Each structure stands twice: as C-alpha cells, then as structure tokens.
Amino acid sequence: MQFASRPLAIMSRMKALAGGWALTGTGALLGLGTTLTLWAIGPSKFDPARSCHYRFDESRTFTAVERSFPPRVTCVRDDGQTFEYLSSTTTLTSTVLLAVSAALVLAGAALLAATWLRRDAVPAPPPSGSRAVHLWLALLLGLALTFVVTGLGLALYLFLGPLAALFLATPALLGAAALAAALDRHAGPPRPGPRRRGTTVALGGALLGTALVLATFTIDALAGWTPLTFLLAVLLYPAIAAAQHFLPSPAPSTQPTQPARP
C-alpha cells in the first residue's frame, strides 16, 4: 500500500510544480508586457515634464508627478492646473493587469516554495564533487544572477518601475534556487537540506548583492565604488556556500526505527 501511494505522491508534486511555474511565468510575461506598453505610450522617463510641456501647452512650464501603481503621470502646470498624461481607461486597464500579474507571480512562487521545500529533509548521499567545485559553481551562479537580477533588475526598476523588476527577478530567483540546489546536491555538504541551502545561496546572494549595489547609487561617498561593489556582489554567492560547508552536521538520531509492516 505504501509503495502504491508513492507514484501518486510524486505525480501530485509534479503537477503542483508545473502549476507553480505556469502561474509564475504567465504573471511575469503579462506584467512585463503591461509595463513595456506603459513605457511606450507614457512620457519620457528621462524628462517627463518635457513630455507634458509638448503635449498640453508649449507656452507654459510643467512638472510631472509619476506613480507606479496605479500607473499614473500627473502633469502640473505652472499655474497649478493638473492634467493626466494617461487616459482613465489606460490607467484602469493597466492597474487591473498589473494587479493580476503580481497576484499570479506571488501565488506561483508560494506554490513552488511550499511544494519544493516540503520534502527537503530526506537523507542525502555524500556528494560526488568537492568543496572547491561547489564554490566555483556558486561563483558562476553569482556571475549570472548579478547580471540578470542585480544589473537588469535595477535597469528595469529605473526605466519601467519596481513592478517590472519584480516580474523579472522572481522567476530568475526561483530558477536560480533550483539550480543552486542541484549544485549543492552534486558537490555540497553531505547533509540533508540541499534545497534550503540552494535557496539560501540564491536568495541571500541576490538580496545582499542588490542592496550592496544600491548603496553605491544612494550614498554619495560610495559613488566611485560601483565596479568593486558588483565584484563583491558576485563573491557573496560562494561566500554563503562556503559558510554552509563549515556549519556543524546535525547529530544522528538515536531513536530506534520502526520495522516496516508486512
């Protein structure tokens, strides 16, 4: 009976993982498409006040007030009169699409995390690789994620808004966590929990690295250290992986095992 239910459990997990990826991918594509459309029909990201000037009244000066959600650009003329750059229909439609996209991405990520991390404590065989191999692989993962999540994510944040960065970073981090878990299973510490350790390497490196790079853009004293902070952001991934190798192994269980029922 126990062996008969195992294929059903595996199929159930596979369906849940496929559903999670479908939700995440659909939400990310829909969200990125919506933000790109808003970028195309909206004012210039470099000088939105100039776009307001040419659209509404070329004889007056304007200031622009932008909001990411709901997407809105309010043009304020020098006499205090306000104009909406985007039509009410565009604002309403894009608000609904962005809300649905974010809900799909978050629901898919939650389903993937709940399904993927649920059975992560099974005893793992000793890895066939070595600590040095694991660190080199984590370094390569750090190079890719620093470019995709930190570099492209910040570019999308500046030009398309924070939601666009979320739609790019979430699938990238989920895929990177799965890849980091596979690297851990191949050459990581010979302990249970490769999925949690891989998730820690991917998410921890990306969040800390992005925060480090952001500090160089917001703190004037660090403005000239941007190349170095990108290098440090890459090195965070193998540093986290190395720390996991030095963590003490859990003590083996002393409870007697129950004999299998016939």
According to DSSP, residue 249 is labeled P
**Domain spans in the chain, listed from the N-terminal domain onward:** 43-85, 120-246
In Å, how far are 69, 145, 178, 184, 261 from 131, measured between CA atoms?
A: 45, 21, 19, 10, 40
Helix residue spans in the chain (DSSP H): 2-41, 48-56, 88-116, 131-145, 153-160, 162-187, 194-218, 226-246
- Give the angle 54-59-60 at the CA atoms, nearest 5°: 85
Per-residue model confidence as pLDDT tens for the chain (262 residues): 444 455 665 666 677 677 778 888 898 999 989 998 988 888 877 788 888 887 787 777 888 888 878 888 888 888 878 888 888 888 899 899 999 999 998 888 888 877 766 655 555 555 555 778 878 888 888 888 888 777 788 788 878 888 888 888 888 888 888 888 877 777 777 777 777 888 888 888 888 888 888 777 776 655 666 677 778 888 888 888 888 877 655 544 444 444 444 4
Q: Are 45 and 39 within 8 A, CB to CB? A: yes
| Residue bearing tokens 């003490």 | 248
* Cα–Cα dist 140/159, whole Å: 28
Give residue 255's pLDDT: 47
80: helix, strand or coil: coil
* Cα–Cα dist 28/76, whole Å: 33
Query: Which pTM was predicted?
Result: 0.70
Residues in the chain: 262
Give residue 1's pLDDT: 44
Q: 121-129: which pairs have CB atoms within 8 A and are 24 or more residues apart?
A: 121/192, 121/193, 122/192, 123/192, 124/185, 124/190, 124/191, 124/192, 124/193, 124/194, 125/190, 126/190, 127/184, 127/185, 127/186, 127/187, 127/188, 127/189, 127/190, 128/186, 128/187, 129/186, 129/187
| Residue bearing tokens 């004999």 | 259
* Cα–Cα dist 228/67, whole Å: 32
